[in-house]
Structures are given as structure tokens and as C-alpha cells.
Amino acid sequence: MPLQRFLRSTTMLSTVVGASFLSVIAVQAADAPVKAPLPPQPLPAVDGINWKGEAFGGVFDDDGFGGIKGAVTIPLSTQYGFQLDGILGGVRGDLFGQVAGHWFWRDPNVGLLGLYASYTHLDDIGGVHAAHAGVEFERYHGPWTLQGVLGVEGGNSKSALIGPLIHSYDVKTRFFDQINLHYYYTDNARLTIGHRYLGGKHALALGGEWAIPLAPRTLGAFSLEGRIGEDNYTGVWAGLKVYFGQQDKPLIARHRQDDPNIWLNIPTILNSKKIETAPGGEPPCLPGEIFDPEFGCIFPPD
């Protein structure tokens, strides 16, 4: 059977050649360099153009206080962003406005580091202003966020005689800070404790924010803040916010992927105000009244 012997020999030859070929491939594969997987890329600093608005109101140093806030945040590159924000409001019967810019680097899994600058104007006794410039930061760790801005503040000096009283402002050049420690006990709710040093006065800040979805890519929130400080640096106010973004996300994600905080700097000016009696300007008071430098002749409290 020559044909059968030929087929058997051909089959054996094919088996030997195939095994040798596979062995060469296996050796080459073992010797080939192994490419390491690419490291995970960080999330962008700003998840697309987003904006927010807020109406707020309450009291500051026993006077009516309120207004509106707004901000728009844009990505500059993968890890950099910019925010422009503003405030328009009134306090003690006077109009005030503020505009601020934030230029920052951020990794939403780690934190934020950037530069901050603002200008605030109060329409009282011819106009008083204050400027702030410094460093802004955020550090994320699970449900905790440490957030703040610190740097240098300064402004102008103004005084005016109103009746028997001298009203004066002296916005000095000095250090300032605003620090917050946030705890998100759910993704849509947080509590805050912080410190404020504005206009040369310290204050403890306490507050919180609670959010609910309103529509696609839109989140509504209620905020509350109170301050307890030295020399009448006190107040409490509440706000209603609306966040608009590129996608649906909870409050904690919006704060870490979208917009930095809008810092309220009008206390720098308000804390720099003094009211004194003009020399020889104390008016006569009725029997039983006393003269108060801020309110004039009043009956003493019981």
C-alpha cells in the first residue's frame, strides 16, 4: 500500500512542522515586550459650560440684607477652568455690587487650586469700595470638602457728617480669609462650618445646602448661612438656587465638577464702618432719654 504509507508520512511531517512553527511563535510572544495599560485620565476641571443663579435675603447686623447672585463657568482646557460671578444687593438701605473672577486647576477626584480676585462697591456716603486678591483651594476626601480663599484685601476711606453724627469707612489693606469645611451626608445635602476674617473682624460661619432635581440638567437648592462674630459681625440669610449644567448630577458632583463657590465680600466694607458723635454735635435729649451714637436720642432699654 504505497499510497497509505505516503499519506501517513505526510501527516507525520505536517505534525512535526506545525508543532515547530507554534513553538517559534510562543517563544517570540514570550520575548516580546508587554505594553503597560495606560493610566486612567483625570476628569476635566469643568464639565462643560454651566451657570447658576440665586436669590437671597435675611439680616446683617440687625439690618435688612439681600440680593441676587449669578455665575458662569467655562472650561479652558482639560484641567483648567474660569468662572465669572457677580452679586447685586442691598444692605442698610444702600445698594452694593460685586464682580469676581476665578482661574483654577482642578482634578474632581482630588481638589482645586487657583487664583481669585474681586471688586466690591457700596453706594454709601459717595461710594466705598474693596478689592480682594488671593489663592483659592479645595480638597476632596470622600464626603468631606475643605474649601477656602485667602489673600489680601484693601479699599478706600470715606467720611460724612450726617446730622450730629460722623459716618466713616476705612477699608485697610490687610489679610483676609474665608474657609469652609463641608460634609455631604447625602449626595444632595451638606452641612458647613467655617471661619471668616473680613474687615479685620473674625466670625464663625454655620450653614447648609439641600438640593432636588427640577428638570433635565437642572438642580434646585435651598441654602442657609449664619455668622456669629465680634463687634456686631453677625447675620443670617437664606437663598434659593438653580444650577444649570451639561448633564444630570447631584449637588456634590456639581460642586466638584462644575462651579466654584461665589464668595460674599461685602462684610469687608460693612465691618470697616464707624459712627461717632461730631464735636459739639450731641443734641439735647428729652428727660429720660439717653444719646446713642448710632440711633441718637433713645429711651434706655428696660
Give yes or no for residue 1 having a pLDDT over 80.
no
CA distance 82 to 49: 10
Amino acid sitting at position 299? F
Does the structure show a pLDDT above 50 at 9? no
Per residue in 148-193, pLDDT (tens digit) is 999 999 999 998 887 778 889 999 999 999 999 999 999 999 999 9
pLDDT at 42: 76
Percent over 70 (pLDDT), the chain: 80
Cell representation of residue 50: 454651566
Average predicted confidence (pLDDT) for the chain: 87
Report the alpha-carbon distance of residue 249 to residue 218 in Å, rounded.
9
The CATH superfamily label for domain 50-277 reads Inverse autotransporter, beta-domain (2.40.160.160)
Which residue ranges make up each domain of the chain? Answer: 50-277
Residue 49 pLDDT > 70: yes
Are residues 258 and 185 in contact, defined by beta-carbon separation less than 8 angstroms? no
Nine-digit cell at 217?
Answer: 440638567
Residue 287 has pLDDT above 60, yes or no: yes
